[in-house]
């Protein structure tokens, strides 16, 4: 290979002398990169969604092949994020596909050192029992001057950022109806 051909193969040379001064197209392309295809290209369908991890609400495109999520990328049509995702949002495919994803209720009893699996009905019954007991023990009907309070400071809710709008709406309604005041979500933190 001659020196001229060698230098002409440098991306920076092509960028400075060619038609791609920003180096985002032909100047940056190599024989290998020209042969690559995007892993989204073989998807059967694309669903629009919103990143569940924080309150920014970046738009996502969810690529599906054979009924399985194969890739999640930023949605260029989103006026919020214009195609961008932060590292958390970029990794949200793992929320669906990671082998580390928890699919069972996990419980560690007081003073226990190990976690155990619980079936969902048992876990829901345990939560209901605790809420009823805490509410009964901490209910404040009126203040010292007899003014109505009708509240409890004994129960609160801290939602995770992967809860969607509809779940958060229902959680807020439920906890307010039970008299709780402390109702928050990680996405607002």
Residue nearest to ligand SF4 (CB): 89
Q: Name the minimum Å distance from CB 139 to ligand SF4.
A: 37
- Which of residues 14 and 61 has its CB atom nearest to ligand SF4 in the complex? 61
Phi, psi values for residue 68, rounded to 5°:
-120, 145
Q: How far is the CB of 90 from ligand SF4 (least distance, A)?
A: 7
Give the whole-angstrom CA distance, residue 91 versus residue 107: 27
Q: Which is nearer to ligand SF4, 15 or 60 (CB)?
A: 60
- Residue closer to ligand SF4, measured from CB, 89 or 179: 89
Point out which residues bind ligand SF4 (CB under 6 A): 51, 53-54, 56-58, 81, 85-86, 88-89
User: What minimum distance in Å lies between the beta carbon of 57 and ligand SF4?
Assistant: 5
Nearest CB to ligand SF4, comparing residues 62 and 85? 85
CB of 115 to ligand SF4, least distance (A): 27
Nearer of residues 47 and 124 to ligand SF4, judged by Cβ: 47
**Shortest separation between residue 92's beta carbon and ligand SF4, angstroms:** 7
**CA nearest neighbour of 64 among 39, 91, 46, 38:** 46
């Amino acid at each position: 290979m001659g020196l001229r051909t060698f230098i002409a193969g440098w991306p920076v040379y092509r960028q400075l002398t060619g038609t791609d001064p920003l180096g985002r197209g032909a100047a940056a392309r190599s024989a290998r990169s020209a042969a690559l295809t995007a892993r989204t290209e073989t998807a059967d369908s694309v669903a629009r969604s919103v990143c569940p991890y924080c309150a920014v609400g970046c738009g996502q495109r969810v690529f599906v092949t054979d009924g399985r999520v194969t890739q999640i990328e930023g949605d260029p049509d989103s006026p919020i994020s214009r195609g961008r995702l932060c590292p958390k949002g970029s990794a949200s495919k793992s929320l669906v596909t990671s082998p580390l994803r928890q699919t069972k209720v996990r419980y560690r009893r007081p003073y226990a050192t190990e976690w155990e699996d619980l079936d969902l009905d048992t876990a829901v019954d345990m939560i209901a029992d605790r809420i009823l007991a805490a509410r009964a023990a901490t209910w404040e009907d009126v203040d010292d001057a007899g003014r109505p309070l009708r509240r409890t400071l004994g129960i609160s809710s801290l939602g995770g950022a992967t809860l969607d709008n509809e779940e958060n709406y229902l959680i807020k309604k439920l906890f307010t109806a039970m008299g709780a005041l402390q109702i928050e979500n990680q996405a607002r933190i």
